[in-house]
Amino acid sequence: MVQEIWEDFLKIAKEEAGSRVVDTWFKAVTLYQWDAINKIVYLLAPNAFVKDWISTNYTELIQVHLSRLLNVDSLKVVFFDGGKKSKSAKTTSSDTEEHITTLVPAKLDRPKKQLVKKNPYRKKCHVNINYHFDNFVAGPSNSLAKAAAQAITEKPGILYNPLFIYGGSGLGKTHLLHAVGNSIKNKNKNMSVLYQTADRFVNEFINAIRFDKIHKFQMKYQNIDVLLIDDIQFISNKEQTQEAFFHIFNVLYDSHKQIVFSSDTFPSNISGLAERLRSRLSCGLVTDIHTPSLETKVAILKKKAKLNHQELPDEIAYFIASSVDSNIRELEGALIRVTAFASLTGQPLSIDLARKVLCRSYTSKKKKIDFERVAKYICKYYNFDLSELRSKKRKKELSFARQVAMFLMKKFTNKSLRDIGAFLGGRDHSTVVYAIEKIEKRAAKNNDFTMQLKKMEKDIAKRA
């Protein structure tokens, strides 16, 4: 019976607090016992941290809904720490009061060198061996980022620590992170290197809470010599993950361990980030990567073709580079389509063949309209800079322009709400949902605004 009651409560909690709260916190807890005589509910948490967090933030929510589900006027909630093996669930609440430990100590003991000789995490570095500095084509748009990334491999943890690289999607940030990892591993095989996406870090943290593996989680990261975090903006609005990462950062930084971040925006423009963490992200060297110039794109195409043992004539390289104006991933995809079509049909590479393939791939697709195109149009239409559109500023006119951008991005692309929010300064999907609904309601009530929206859509589609 108690299990069924708890399952019903989880459904209600998901509606009120959100699925992430339920998945992260409540699913780690079990309804251990219901004392119908004294009207006391005993909940078992996997560790002191989960117990403290839920009791502090969600006791009222639990009392309200469990009272209704158990058909009583009111009840008392007593939490147990599963890490402490209690002999009886009927222990008084005063007996069950325990010292609440923090998730990550403010200062962890530095690992002694003799204890780090065999690091169990060295083999699980997640670094892609195919990404090196040698196959990264540098140009005016990315030369500083590449130079900084190469420099830190000479003296990890000493020069440019942390290194923060930001720029649009598909411009080479991930390539540089992997290149740093590979270069350091080649120069010093005893150093432990870990490449981690922010999403994977968040999921790992959640599992550590749910399965009472916080200590193992701490030890993993305090033994890393080089930590490479990709898309750090995805930890925005995740308070406890930020708290954990804040202490991990301090331990590594104080130990002179190298830290490298990538993001789609400047640190100060990442919304939903604690100020003390934001200041740490930007305390080292911050450098950006822009959309490559035509010459750089040509060099990238020729380099890629050479790696695949193919000869790419200059005129074809220039044609492909001129046809793709979004990012390097699209550029490489276009090259693969052209060369694959030539190989499969037995035709020689030519401008006509490239035009035939790329016209089919790009000019007929609505997907060609991407976030950058919509954002550029909105910035020009409302007279704002892209940095302002992605900033935390909430000035009325700017907020409205941002909401219109979100609406149009959803209309013209097949990207998720999360992707839209991430592009516009790391905002969560609920903010995007609110923006879209607000624009739709305004359009439904205001014919002039509806006509204005249609003109915007027509202009954007025409530019595609």
Q: What is the largest CA-CA distance in the chain?
A: 85
Superfamily name and number for 123-289:
P-loop containing nucleotide triphosphate hydrolases (3.40.50.300)
| Contact call for residues 60 and 26 (beta carbons, < 8 A) | no
Lowest mean pLDDT among 239-253, 351-365, 423-437: 351-365
4 falls in which pLDDT band (50, 70, 90)? confident
pLDDT given for residue 252 in this prediction: 92
133 falls in which pLDDT band (50, 70, 90)? very high
Q: Token match 């963490």: residue?
A: 277
87 falls in which pLDDT band (50, 70, 90)? very low
Q: Which residue has the higher pLDDT, 235 or 414?
A: 235
Lowest mean pLDDT among 71-85, 212-226, 316-330, 363-377: 363-377
Q: What element of type H or E holds 43? A: strand 40-45
Of the CA atoms within 13 Å of residue 29, those in its CB half-sphere come to 33
- Burial of 15 from C-beta contacts in 10 A (0-12 / 13-18 / 19+): exposed
116 falls in which pLDDT band (50, 70, 90)? very low
| Contact call for residues 261 and 229 (beta carbons, < 8 A) | yes
Q: What is the pLDDT of residues 278-324, one digit of tens each?
A: 889 988 899 989 888 888 889 989 988 888 888 888 888 888 888 87
Residue 97 predicted with pLDDT over 60: no
Q: Token match 């035709």: residue?
A: 347
Compute the distance between CA of residue 296 and CA of residue 101 in angstroms, rounded to an integer: 53
pLDDT given for residue 464 in this prediction: 55
**Percent above pLDDT 70 for the chain:** 88
Q: Which residue has the higher pLDDT, 32 or 87?
A: 32
**Percent above pLDDT 90 for the chain:** 24
Residue 124 predicted with pLDDT over 70: no
Torsion on CA atoms 209, 214, 217, 221, rounded to nearest 10: 120
Q: Is the peptide bond before 111 cis (omega within 30 degrees of 0)?
A: no
Helix (H, G, I), strand (E, B) or coil at 227: strand
| Contact call for residues 140 and 293 (beta carbons, < 8 A) | yes
Lowest mean pLDDT among 109-118, 151-160, 192-201, 307-316: 109-118
pLDDT given for residue 194 in this prediction: 94
DSSP letter at 362 equals: I
Architecture of domain 371-463: Orthogonal Bundle (1.10)
Alpha-carbon Rg for the chain, nearest whole angstrom, is 27
Compute the distance between CA of residue 26 and CA of residue 21 in angstroms, rounded to an integer: 7
Read off φ and ψ for residue 43, nearest 5 degrees: -110, 140
405 falls in which pLDDT band (50, 70, 90)? very high
Q: Which residue has the higher pLDDT, 56 or 399?
A: 399
pLDDT given for residue 84 in this prediction: 54
Compute the distance between CA of residue 209 and CA of residue 187 in angstroms, rounded to an integer: 36
Secondary-structure class of domain 294-364 per CATH: mainly alpha
Residue 128 predicted with pLDDT over 70: yes
Residue 211 predicted with pLDDT over 70: yes
Please state the domain extents for the chain.
Answer: 2-81, 123-289, 294-364, 371-463
Q: Token match 């030519």: residue?
A: 350
Residue 362 predicted with pLDDT over 70: no
Highest mean pLDDT among 4-13, 208-217, 256-265: 256-265
Average pLDDT score over residue span 96-120: 41
| Contact call for residues 121 and 194 (beta carbons, < 8 A) | yes
Q: What is the CATH topology of the domain spanning 2-81?
A: GMP Synthetase; Chain A, domain 3 (3.30.300)
Would you say the CATH fold of 371-463 matches that of 2-81? Answer: no
| Closest of 47, 438, 104 to residue 242, by C-alpha | 104
Whole-model pTM?
Answer: 0.58
pLDDT given for residue 113 in this prediction: 46
Of the CA atoms within 13 Å of residue 65, those in its CB half-sphere come to 17
pLDDT given for residue 326 in this prediction: 66
Residue 121 predicted with pLDDT over 70: no
